[in-house]
Amino acid sequence: MTKVFNSVVCTICGCLCDDLEVTVENNEIVKMKNGCAVCEAKMVHGYKSEERILKPHVRKDGKLVPVTMDEAIHKAAQILTDAKYPLLFGWTSSASETQHVGVELAEELGSALDNCCSVCHGPSVMATQEIGIPTATLGQIRHRADLIVYWACNPWSSHPRHVERYTAFTDGRFEKSEFKDYVQKLKAKSGQKKVAAAIRRTRVRYQPPPRPQTALVEAPPQTLAKDGRRMVVFDVMKTMTAEVADYFVQVEPNRDYEIFGALRCLVNDQELDVDTVGGVPVDYLKEIADVMVNAEFGAIFFGLGLTQSVGRFRNVELAIALTRDLNRKTKFVVSPMRGHFNVTGANTVFAWQTGYPFALDFSQGYPQYNPGEFTAIDLLRRGDNDATLVISADPGAHFPKGAMQNMVKHPLITINPDWNAISRLGDVVFPTQWCGIEQGGTAYRMDSVAITLKKVVEAPKGVPSDEEIVKRILEEVKVIKANKAEKEDTGKQVLQETAAPKKRGSKTLKKEL
Amino acid sequence: MITLTPKRTFTVPIQAACINVDVFTGKTLQEIKNLSITEGKETITLNDAFDITEDKTIETPNITLTGDFSKVKRIGQGMKTGEIVINGDAGMHTGEKLSGGKIVVNGNSGGWTGSEMKKGLIEIHGNSGDYTASPYRGTSTGMRGGLIIVDGDVGTDVGCYMQGGLIKINGSAGRYLGFHMLDGTIYVGKDCSIRAGACMTGGKIIINGAVELLMPTFTIDSVKPKVKIDATQIAQGPFYVFLGDIAEHGTGKIFALKATNPTLSNYEKYL
Amino acid sequence: MTEVLIKNGFVFDPLNNIDGQKMDIAIKDGKIVKKVSNERNAKVIDASGLTVMAGGVDIHSHIAGSEVNLGRLIRPDDHVKDVVKKTALTRGGTGYSIPSTYVTGYRYSKMGYTTVMNPSMAAMKARHAHEELNDVPMIDKASFTLLGDWWFALENIAKGDLEECARHIAWMIRATRSYAIKVVNPGGLESWGFGRNVHSIDDEVPNFCITPRDIITGMAKVNTMLNMPHTVHLHTNNLGVPGNYKTTIDTMNALESVYTGDKPIGHITHIQFSSFAGDNWAHFKSGAEEIAKYLNAHNHLTVDIGQVTFADTTTMTADGPFEFALYELGGHNKWVNSDVETESSGGIIPFHFKRKNAVNAIQWSIGLELSLLIKDPWKWFMTTDHPNGGPFFHYPRVFAWLYSSKAREATLKNCNKKAQKKSLLPSIDREYTLYELAIITRAGTAKALGLKNKGHLGIGADADVSIYNINPETTDIAKSYKPVRKAFGNAAYTIKDGEIVVKDAEIVATPSGRTMWLDVQTKEPCRIDDKIKSKFKDYWTIEFDNYPVTDHYLKVPEKIAIKASV
Amino acid sequence: MVEQKLRVTLITGRTIEQGVGKEMGKGSPEYFDSAAVCFLDPVDIKRLGLKSGANVKVTSPYGSVIVKAKRYTRGTMSGMVFMPCGLWANSVCGSNTDSIGMPTFRGFTVEVEPAPDMPVLTLDELLKQEFGK
């Protein structure tokens, strides 16, 4: 039986492309159209790999052995209630419905709660908290931007369809793309399907129209002065994205902050006392500042190159400050290239329930927030936690070794669909459905537009959704807590009864207890 | 004097804003023992975590903490009067929002020490963590007054949004020293990492060692033979004086010692 | 469901002309009934000596949505000042100016409010707004979709095809599960796409050959064609600009041109921000007298105030260019702008309204001058445009300023001297009665919103009741304004759909509350052919199939069917 | 002249191959091939006397790891090396965050040296070695 699903949402990156066409045969995805190479890897191959977890596992005598769901739920809840200070981490590859329950679980436990945002665009969120952000939805940029700046990011690899769907290679109402025609011509010429696939996979590096070399030269290339939409890339190395840009500026590692500072001065027509900044001649930056000021609508996209290098959120802060300064002269927006498909959702859901987007702590009964204090890496680095629950994330592969070593010292619960690095390290391992393939839900695009995910195939038998697992753990935690409180109460009663004959005021006794 | 000694080694963080002279004053020893704190998610009493003794013969310091308090957060938060001495390391937020009195740390101190401080004195005879004297996230009102003395080094982002008072660092300083500073003085005895004074609009930073890299958004103003740290202390130069951050139209000043900063000599041509 | 009998309260129910009479209110199955079937089985509330009103209905309060949440996200400094602990029954959270969702619900309920309108929802981000509203417990809610700068609407109005426009809008109201048409700075938001703005209602909107006047009148007509229960909800051009009261009067005149004479044709929201006189900030003055005079002489409009309450708050509006202008005035360290493709924009700036600041104090005065000079309380409603003028839980302060000239004096005394001199307040001695307060907080708002079962205590009405510890017989509310103010902030009882949810200002139950939306059916449905679909693909970056909000996003939906006349 | 060791700046980040690999499964050969690598400028490869595909040892103050060296031909990046993010890169990344939650993932100094006799560990081997599980 073949079924074709239209407008399916891709669950890889923050682009949340929602135009996939998925063909399902016998409850198995056999074909996918329109998606990028990474999407194809997940939706056609990866999701049904042999590495799938099908049963809950618990580590006994150092070995993971399959157990019943009830046992795993109870074990997990017991670990979390017994721990003095558990950490709940992950959430970014779950639907917002799951994240929603997650906050309640953390609140019930009084634990720390963090999402993957803290190791990707947490600094961007923090920068926003310092000075705000002038931003726009991606369509606004598609319709209007005549200058696109990719700063310290490589969408060609990390957000493969970003350029094609939202920026330089697409048409908007007020801005046409010369690339779009070019891509289309190319498609028509050499058989649409083949080339389309090739472009999708980004394996073919088709040459854009001839232009001067984009290495550091004295005078900026003519492409910058051309009409229509232009694309400029700032990065420490020449990436794929840089190769297709109109203009590429190679900056020294860890010097973005200085360059932003210099650009701010130049945009405001101030003079600098230095000749080069971060490996780029000031004269050169002047030209770029002019191009920025003369744009009708400019958009800066920045990536992990800013948030992970020296300076971190301060880098982003200055990128935003530059955008603000540019708004006095023209219209400019700035936007982070959010990674995981629902990392924005995690920030959003956490924020509306607690006021804070990540790095949360509930130990005081109310939410507390402070990156550096309650972020996963910092908690782990200091060894503050004595149990961890990881859901829909793989810190096993993406946290620095030092932090991970502290995590595995204590009990570890994992909820992931497949045997990724963290599942392999877990003490209680849950199987779960692939969000956006086997279960629906809601995800937030990088510009915080909510999109409904689609369910296209049935999950293997006995594999629940992560929402259900978290809900069941929450219920079990409540039961364990209630039992514990009851025990304490009977303990108290016994005490009171024994104390009663002595005629001591029960009030003072209660106080002592 | 009340003395607190940890009963055991703490593994999870403890929040104990009640270790505060204002809170202890007027309470009996038993009442102090019953003050509640949190250890991780558990609420416990001060007595559960610490051995507490009282010595009525000694007046100052009012509270002495002996042992490793590096996991204990918010010691002396918002304190108005009195003196706390910590013989060991202190945790995060020590002396946060201090509005009077004195805190002495005979060891290292954690992040956000003296955050949003208004008045009083914090002496750290070791190193101090990141965000010392810097405000909470999203807040643009930093340290308003008082004095922080650090014998050792400090971490990054120290003295952000500072509006007054003095931070005297005898060791070296991390990145973003005096970020967005509005007023007040920061003195660094040794070297200073990159991006000192970024976005500053007022106040002064005196660097008695090497400056790793000056922000391009600073412009040289003059060379001065000496500079005042406060009413009584003077740093001997000569110093290069830089004005900035011009991207913020600021008029903050960075004084960088000429002798330790030969790389800055190429600015002299603009004088 | 249990029955409830509220006995011997002083009832204020303006829609049924009840002005403080002592009477009983009976409740059964979530509705007001004539009497309970058996008093012994009913839960009896002894309300003797207490004031009984219908549950409060807020016509304009930004409590959820993308914009609100972004405001929340950028203000950890605001939250850390106001934390709320979890209890066995209620969830924890934070305030202050933009409380987290649960806290929002609890605080509204504690004031005796049971229905709140979320007045600004970008269509594309409607899904988010509804997800968030699901987490606001205790109250019924509905949202207004931002449609004044939607390309489909602009193009159809420019073409002169209002019927087609109406069909599109009907589709959009359904697709976004919305309750009304919201128009913000018409034409200005589209201009802001390229960093510009419109400065009068006759400026041309770039690229669209249309003026704000066309949009305002077009939308008002569309609203009538669709038989919407509420009028067009309008945020005027030039909001927040000195001298803008003239634009406001132009706007009101434009609306009069399409007035047919039966019910109001438009609602001008937070009119305080649109009643500025003076040429610039240095000569900033109140335009309240002119606006009030106009409103007293005309019947085609309702307004709400957007009262300033002197708080460290967060301003947020879909009016992106206004927020940018505010940022340009200086002194703000955070500025958010968030444009939404083909539809809208948005801006956020944390703002501290200070008594000692001349402009802020005059703004405070403008709001109260308007409230007191507009004679008919059915024409205006009390709001703070939460969180713009101040957080909603400051309402009791505003009530006090209205019912007690003593309270006004006490605040004015501490205000900026220049503002004191300019203020008209000392010359006004009007003091609101409880009956009038009930109009501007529930009866009038419910009527203006077309909510037939809300805002009153007649038979068949929703059993949303608030009971306050105010004894109108023994208390002179104007003189002892402080205890009365406290009573308004701490309801003795709040009853939601027949269930007691607040008792003695403590939350005792946490029902979800419903989300109301209009199922507007046009005679001829909106054509969704390939042409429209392809246009859709050109205009938005999400697929047509994925655009509409489904029922999944409404925890407790309440569909209201509307038959349009096109 | 062939050098024993190079002191370079490490950049970590995404590549599309690593993206595909991670979606195929963390235990998949695609992931191993795309993540257990280190890209060097051809000039630097020459300075170390290496061939593309040879094993190198990358050492930082936080740890060391063996990966395959690959030539980066898209542009000059002498003095820098690039590793796709993943378990192998994270073996040399630090946990210091400057108190903002973001570890030291890129822009720090590492040493690269040839390691012809040492094997590149698979995911499971590496997990066993680092975490004992």
Cβ atoms of C376 and C362 within 8 Å: the answer is no
Of the pLDDT bands very low, low, confident and very high (cuts 50, 70, 90), residue A511 is very low
Q: Which of residues 85-114 of D touch A (CB under 8 A)?
A: 85-87, 90-107
The pLDDT tens digits for C135-192 are 999 999 999 999 999 999 999 999 999 999 999 999 999 999 999 999 999 999 999 9
Residue C180 φ then ψ, to 5°:
-155, 170
Helix (H, G, I), strand (E, B) or coil at A166: helix
Q: Average pLDDT of B125-132? A: 96
Q: Give the whole-number percent of chain A exceeding pLDDT 70.
A: 86
Residue B200 φ then ψ, to 5°:
-70, 145
| Backbone angle region of C537, left / alpha / beta, with phi > 0 → left and psi within -120 to 50 → alpha | alpha
Q: Provide the whole-model pTM.
A: 0.94
Distances (CA, A) of A313 to A251, A335, B29, B258, D20: 18, 14, 46, 31, 29
Residue B27 domain-assigned (yes or no): no
Task: Select the more confidently predicted residue: A168 or A107.
Answer: A107
For residues A99 and A341, what is the distance between their CA atoms, to the nearest angstrom? 13
- One DSSP character per residue, A277-340 reads ETTEEHHHHHHHHHHHHH-SEEEEEE-HHHHSSTTTHHHHHHHHHHHHHHHTTSEEEEEE---B
Contact B246 A362 (CB under 8 A): no
Distances (CA, A) of A269 to A275, B195, C151, C290, C325: 16, 22, 37, 45, 22
- Separation in Å, CA of B193 to nearest CA in chain C: 26
Contact B136 C75 (CB under 8 A): no
Contacts of B136 in chain C (CB under 8 A): 76-77, 80
Cβ atoms of A332 and A297 within 8 Å: the answer is yes
Chains touching C, CB cut-off 8 Å, 3+ pairs: A, B
Residue B105 domain-assigned (yes or no): yes
For residues A433 and A455, what is the distance between their CA atoms, to the nearest angstrom? 10
Contacts of A62 in chain D (CB under 8 A): 133
Does domain D6-131 correspond to CATH entry 3.40.50.920?
no
The pLDDT tens digits for A158-206 are 999 999 899 988 888 888 876 666 665 554 544 344 434 434 433 333 3
ipTM: 0.96
pLDDT at C219: 97
The answer to whether residue A86 neighbours chain B at the CB level (below 8 Å) is yes
Statement: residue A505 has pLDDT above 70: no
Cα A476 from chain centroid (whole Å): 29
- The H-assigned helical ranges of C39-100 are 66-73, 76-79
Statement: residue A506 has pLDDT above 80: no
Q: What domain range includes position B167?
A: 56-270
For residues A207 and C392, what is the distance between their CA atoms, to the nearest angstrom? 58
Of the pLDDT bands very low, low, confident and very high (cuts 50, 70, 90), residue C452 is very high
pLDDT at B141: 92
For residues A51 and D66, what is the distance between their CA atoms, to the nearest angstrom? 25
Domain ranges of chain A: 50-120+341-475, 127-336, 477-512
pLDDT at D1: 66
Name the residue facing B42 among A84, A277, A314 (closest C-beta): A84
Average confidence score pLDDT of chain C: 95
For residues C3 and C22, what is the distance between their CA atoms, to the nearest angstrom? 20
Task: Using a threshold of 3 CB pairs under 8 A, tell whether chains C and D touch.
Answer: no
pLDDT at D75: 84
Distances (CA, A) of D67 to A237, A396, C360, D53: 20, 18, 64, 9
Domain ranges of chain D: 6-131
For residues C26 and C34, what is the distance between their CA atoms, to the nearest angstrom? 6
Q: Which of residues 301-340 of C touch A (CB under 8 A)?
A: 324, 327-328, 333-340
The pLDDT tens digits for D15-72 are 999 999 999 999 999 999 999 999 999 999 999 999 889 999 999 999 999 999 999 9
CATH number at residue B252: 2.160.20
Q: Report how many domains make up chain B.
A: 1
- Separation in Å, CA of C327 to nearest CA in chain B: 15
For residues A160 and A438, what is the distance between their CA atoms, to the nearest angstrom? 23
For residues C293 and A253, what is the distance between their CA atoms, to the nearest angstrom? 65
Chains A & C: contacts with CB separation below 8 Å = 187
Of the candidates A378, A337, A350, the one whose C-alpha atom is nearest the C-alpha of residue A120 is A337
Residue B181 domain-assigned (yes or no): yes
Q: Which of residues 103-142 of B touch C (CB under 8 A)?
A: 136-140
The pLDDT tens digits for C84-136 are 999 999 999 999 999 999 999 999 999 999 999 999 999 999 999 999 999 99
Of the pLDDT bands very low, low, confident and very high (cuts 50, 70, 90), residue C507 is very high
- Separation in Å, CA of B216 to nearest CA in chain D: 20
Q: Domain A50-120+341-475 is in which class?
A: alpha beta
- Separation in Å, CA of D17 to nearest CA in chain A: 8
Contact A366 C92 (CB under 8 A): yes
Chains touching A, CB cut-off 8 Å, 3+ pairs: B, C, D
Residue B212 domain-assigned (yes or no): yes
What is the b/e burial string over C515-552, where b = at least 16 CB atoms within 10 angstroms of the residue's CB? bbbbebebeeebeeeeeeeeebeebbbbbbebbbbeee
Contacts of B155 in chain D (CB under 8 A): 98-99
Contacts of A449 in chain C (CB under 8 A): 124-125, 128, 541-542
The pLDDT tens digits for A207-234 are 333 333 444 444 445 555 566 788 999 9
Q: SS3 string of chain B?
A: CEEEEECCCCCCCEECCCCCHHHHCCCCHHHHHCCEEEECCEEEEHHHHEEEEECCCCCCCCEEEECCECCEECCCCCCCCCEEEEECCECCCCCCCCEEEEEEECCCECCCCCCCCCEEEEEECCCECCCCCCCCCCCCCCCCCCEEEECCCECCCCCCCCCCCEEEECCCECCCCCCCCCCCEEEECCCECCCCCCCCCCCEEEECCCECCCCCCCEEEEEEEEEECCCCCEEEEEEEEEEECHHHCCCEEEEEECCCCHHHHHHHHHC
- One DSSP character per residue, A337-398 reads ---BTTHHHHHHHHHHHHS-SSSEE-TTSS-EE-TTTSSHHHHHHHT--SEEEEES--HHHH
Number of other residues whose CB lies within 10 A of the CB of residue A364: 17
pLDDT at A176: 80
Q: Give the whole-number percent of chain A exceeding pLDDT 90.
A: 77
For residues C382 and C466, what is the distance between their CA atoms, to the nearest angstrom? 17
Residue B11 domain-assigned (yes or no): no
CATH of A127-336, one of 3.30.70.260, 2.40.33.10, 3.40.1190.10, 3.40.228.10: 3.40.228.10
Contacts of A277 in chain B (CB under 8 A): 216
For residues B247 and C429, what is the distance between their CA atoms, to the nearest angstrom? 52
Contact A364 C85 (CB under 8 A): yes
The pLDDT tens digits for A287-313 are 999 999 999 999 999 999 999 999 999
